[in-house]
Amino acid sequence: MEATSLEAHNAMIANLSVRFRFNQKYISRPGRKIIMSASSPEITLSYRKGIEAFGSKIDFDWASIKVKNSSRLGLLGKADYSLTYGRFLHKDQLLFLDYYHFAGNRSTMTVFTPDALQLLSYYNLSTNDQIIEGHYEHHFNGLLLNKVPIIRKC
């Protein structure tokens, strides 16, 4: 791992993200739109550009695609998953702050989010190359524990 000493610098970064959800259903009410859950996955395309201008000394391109979905499995509960692929397309001037950093958390006092990696060191796996990241979370909705009489009554 490289030295991670941070020095003061200026950075000009442009971000662009586009999210697609096919077959999205919604209810139209006067003055608002209520989005209903959809069975098709959500696809997010992201692009980040470090621009060497106005005192900025960085020059890189990062692109990623993320597929995310939530599926109801009847009596088996609900499954949530997300898959991300990303890579630096070019990295002429790239500082450690601009690397891809996974959403790690070394604290035991935390909020559990589907895309976080619990107890992962903050910067040990940061990269300036490419990443593949996957998350899967399953909610049994009481399928297993509701069969135990003492727990079911609590």
Predicted local distance difference test score (pLDDT) of residue 111: 67
Domain ranges of the chain: 12-98+130-153
Q: What is the pLDDT of residues 90-126, one digit of tens each?
A: 998 888 888 888 887 777 676 677 777 777 777 888 8
Q: What is the pLDDT of residues 4-42, one digit of tens each?
A: 567 777 889 999 999 998 888 888 889 898 887 777 889
Kind and range of the H or E run holding 88:
strand 78-93
Q: What is the pLDDT of residues 34-92, one digit of tens each?
A: 887 777 889 999 999 999 888 888 899 999 999 998 888 888 888 889 999 999 999 98
pLDDT classification of 130: cutoffs 50, 70, 90: very high
> Residue 122: which of 97, 135, 105, 98 has the closest Cα?
105
